[in-house]
Structure 1
Amino acid sequence: MERVFVAILTTLFCTILNVKGQENETNWGIKAGANHSSLWDRVEINGRPGIDYQFNTGFYLGGLANFSLSEKWELQPEVLLSQRNIGIEIDGFIDPEADSNLYTATRTETLIDLPVMLRFKMSRLFIETGPQFGFLINQKEEVKENPYGDQEVSLDNYDTFDAGLAAGIGYSFFSKITLNFRYFQGLIKRDESVNSLAFNLGMEYLF
C-alpha cells in the first residue's frame, strides 16, 4: 500500500512540475489554523473498541503553491507541520490492587503533511479534494491515569507513514485571504489497527 501512495505522490509531483512549466498563473502563500483530530480503532474487545480514542485540538502551519489550471480549476500542493493531540481512554484493566482500572492519556503526534488539493472555484467559494501524505517525526504520550502506577510509555516501532484522502470547502474574503475547512480520512491502517481522522480550520494568505 505504501508503494502505491509513493507512486501517486511521484506522479503528482511530475504533474506539478509540468503545470509550473506552462503559461499558468502561480501564487505562493502560507497557511495556519487549528485541527481537531483522533484515531479510529478497528480492534474490538468483547464487542467494544479496544481503545477509546477521543478528539482533541491541535494546530498546523506551513506553506503552499497555488497553480491556476483554468478559470475554474486550481491545483494546490502544501507542506504543513501538524501537531495532533489525541485523547486515549482504556477502561477494563483488571487489577484488584489498583485504585482504578481506567487508563487515560493524551498522545501528541507531530507530522509533516503533504496534501495535494484539486480545487473547483465558484466565484469566491470553492470545493476541493485530493490525496494527503503524512510522515510522523515525533510522538509522545502524556499519561494522566494509570492503574499500574508511573510507568514509561514506549512508542517505538510505530508506523511513521500515513496517507489518505482530504476534502474541504473554502471562501475567499479578498484576493489574498481565504478561510478553509478540510476533513482528512486516513486510508492506511497504522500500527495494524488505527486510521487517522482530522478536521482542519484555518486561514490562507497568498503573497
Structure 2
Amino acid sequence: MKKLYWSLLFAGGLSVSSAYAQDIRLGVKAGLSLTSFVGDDAIGTRYKPGFHGGGLLELSLDKNLSVQPELLVSMKGSRYENTNLRYNITYLDVPVMLKYKLDGLFLEVGPQFGFRSDSELKTNSASIKWKNHTRDVDLGYAVGLGYETPKGALVGLRYNGGATKLGYDRRLSIINLPARNIYNSAIQLYVGYMFGRL
C-alpha cells in the first residue's frame, strides 16, 4: 500500500510539473560515489567507492526554476573498518529535484525513491546474496549544487540520505550488525550533458 501511495504521489507531482513546464530538456549524467551506512547502529562502518549514472528530464517552470526527475543506477553500501567485509547494494534511484539556476550555477533539493535491485555481502574471496535482509524500497532525500556551461556540459556534487531503515530484521545478516537504526548515505560527484529542448 505504501509503494502504491508513493508511486501515485510521484506520478501526480510529475504530471503537474509537466503541465506548467515551459521548456523540456533531456540529459545524461554519471560519476563516482562514496557511500556508507549512518545511524545509531552503524558502528564501524566506513565509506566505500561506487558508481552512479543514468538519464534526467528537466522541466523548466520559469527562467530560474525547474523540476528535474532522474532515473539512475546507483551502487551503495558500506565497508567495515579493520575487516575486508563490504556490503554492496544496487538501487534504481528516482530523485525528483527542485532546481534553482542563476548564471550557470544551480542548487537542487528534493525527495528520492530508491528501488533495490541487488545486494550482497562480499569479502576478498567470496560473496553472499542478502536481498532478504534489506528493504525493497528506500525513501530518502537529496541536496546538491553544480554548474552548467552555456553549451550544456554540467558538473555537480550531491548528497543523498535514506529516510527508511535499511533492514527488515533486528540484526543485519551474518555479522550480527544491529539494523534498527541504519540508513543509506551517499556523496556523489558527477559530470553530464544537457541536450536541446524537446
Does the residue aligned with 1:13 lie in a helix, a strand or coil? helix
Distance 2:76 2:146 in 1: 22
Distance 2:38 2:98 in 1: 26
Distance 1:20 1:153 in 2: 43
Q: Which stretches in structure 1 are left out of the alignment for 5+ residues?
A: 44-48, 90-101, 145-149
Question: Are residues 1:193 and 2:168 paired?
Answer: no
Q: Quote the residue 1:26 is aligned against.
A: 24
Q: TM-score, normalised by structure 2?
A: 0.82
Q: Find the partner of 2:104 among 119, 124, 133.
A: 124
Question: Are residues 1:35 and 2:21 paired?
Answer: no
CA contact (8 A) 2:119 2:129 kept: no
Q: Quote the residue 2:192 is aligned against.
A: 204
Alignment of 1:169-180 (within 5 A): 169-180=145-156
- With over 3 angstroms needed to count, the CA separation of the structure-2 counterparts of 1:64 and 1:188, relative to structure 1, is same
Question: Are residues 1:111 and 2:111 paired?
Answer: no
Distance 1:188 1:163 in 2: 6
Report the CA distance between 1:18 and its aligned residue: 3.0
Report the CA distance between 1:52 and its aligned residue: 1.2
Report the CA distance between 1:153 and its aligned residue: 4.2
Query: How many residues matched?
Result: 182
Alignment of 1:8-157 (within 5 A): 8-22=6-20, 24-43=22-41, 51-89=43-81, 103-144=83-124, 153=128, 155-157=130-132
Amino acid at match of 1:108: N
4+ aligned runs moved over 6 Å, structure 1:
none
Q: Which stretches in structure 2 are left out of the alignment for 5+ residues?
A: 168-179
Report the CA distance between 1:22 and its aligned residue: 4.2
- With over 3 angstroms needed to count, the CA separation of the structure-2 counterparts of 1:19 and 1:40, relative to structure 1, is closer
Distance 1:110 1:201 in 2: 17
Q: Quote the residue 1:96 is aligned against.
A: none
Does the residue aligned with 1:10 lie in a helix, a strand or coil? helix
The structure with the largest alpha-carbon Rg is: 1
Identity %: 27
CA contact (8 A) 2:24 2:59 kept: yes
Does the residue aligned with 2:10 lie in a helix, a strand or coil? helix
Pairwise CA RMSD: 2.3
CA contact (8 A) 2:21 2:59 kept: no
Question: Are residues 1:181 and 2:169 paired?
Answer: no
Report the CA distance between 1:154 and its aligned residue: 5.3
Q: Find the partner of 1:165 among 121, 141, 144.
A: 141
